[in-house]
Structure 1
Amino acid sequence: MFQNKNVKILVVLFLIGLLIAVRAFEGILFYDPFMDYFKAEYANLSYPQLDSILFYLNLIFRYTLNSIISVLILYVIFDDIAMVKFSGSLLLMFLIVLLFSMFLLLNYSDESQKMILFYVRRFLIQPIFLLLFIPAFFYQKKTA
């Protein structure tokens, strides 16, 4: 789609800027009581009170926002619809697994699992999968 390399670079930089904006305005855009919790000395604190439905809806919204931008970045870089579909499928599968894990950790485990909760939440709120997909897809393209 983007034949001009300079346009491609500008579009990718713009999309990365959108990911940065999601992170920069997270306190305004999303309901997440764990944001302040994990910034504090959480080892000695109980989990914060939360509105579960609002919390999960905001996690899904943020993950979806990051995923759409990530898939667009992958499309601009690789210009491959099959790769975009595969990425979207993986991201959807990861969302389901991570949300289920988050639910289990919050409702059926004790608070000794705080670090696991921290990392599950991190995968839900940050576009970490993009950092894994780009080198994997470059390698796959190179070896194919």
Structure 2
Amino acid sequence: MLKKLFNHKIRIALALVFVVALALIRAYEDHLFYDPFLDYFKGDYYNLTVPVVDNIQLFAGLFFRYFLNTALSLAIIYVLFKDIDAIKFASILYLLFFVILIGAFFFILLKNGEPNKMGLFYVRRFLIQPIFLLLFLPAFYYQKQKQ
């Protein structure tokens, strides 16, 4: 097992670099993206009204962040599994999930954001965090083990 790790040390190092990049996106999120919900959800948001947002800027910020997280997540999957078919499949899923989630986010925000703050919180969480990577890694590992 230790020999396998040493044989793949470059792949592991690259994967760690990409994970650090994901952490840096999270660390500098206040400076990189327009998202008035960052401070809103850090506070006592149940007693606050939903902040007024610029929908186009918010969409651009969410899209940019999702794109960065997706690119780094796909890079991690490629480095670990070296499987182009897995990258193609994951790319299609990321695109499909983005369309569904961004639609749901703006529907909740524009139609019933005030009474449905938790729905807004969780849909936004899927858009801004690389949660799908946590789902895809075990799935692709299991698939690779079955082959």
TM-score, with normalisation over the residues of structure 2?
Answer: 0.94
Q: Which residue is equivalent to 1:93? A: 96
* Structure-1 separation of matches of 2:113 and 2:89: 36
Q: Which runs of 4+ in 1 moved over 3 A?
A: none
- Superposed, 1:1-144 pairs within 5 Å as 4-144=7-147
Across the two proteins, how many residue pairs are aligned to each other?
A: 142
Q: Work out the CA distance in 1 between the residues paired with 2:144 and 2:99.
A: 28
TM superposition shift of 1:143: 1.9
Identical aligned residues as a percent: 50
Question: 5+ unaligned residues in a row in structure 2: which ranges?
Answer: 1-6
**1: CA distance, partners of 2:90 / 2:113:** 34
Q: How much has 1:76 moved relative to structure 2?
A: 0.3
Contact 2:113 2:120 in 1 (8 A): no
Q: Deviations over 1:2-43 (max 9, x none)?
A: xx4010111000000100010000000000000000001001
State the Cα RMSD in Å: 1.2
Tell me how far apart the structure 1 counterparts of residues 19 and 103 of structure 2 sit (CA, whole Å).
Answer: 28
CA distance in 2, matches of 1:141, 1:105: 38
Kindly state the Cα deviation for residue 111 of structure 1 after the two structures are TM-superposed.
Answer: 1.4
Aligned to 2:4: none
Provide the residue aligned with 2:3 in structure 1: none
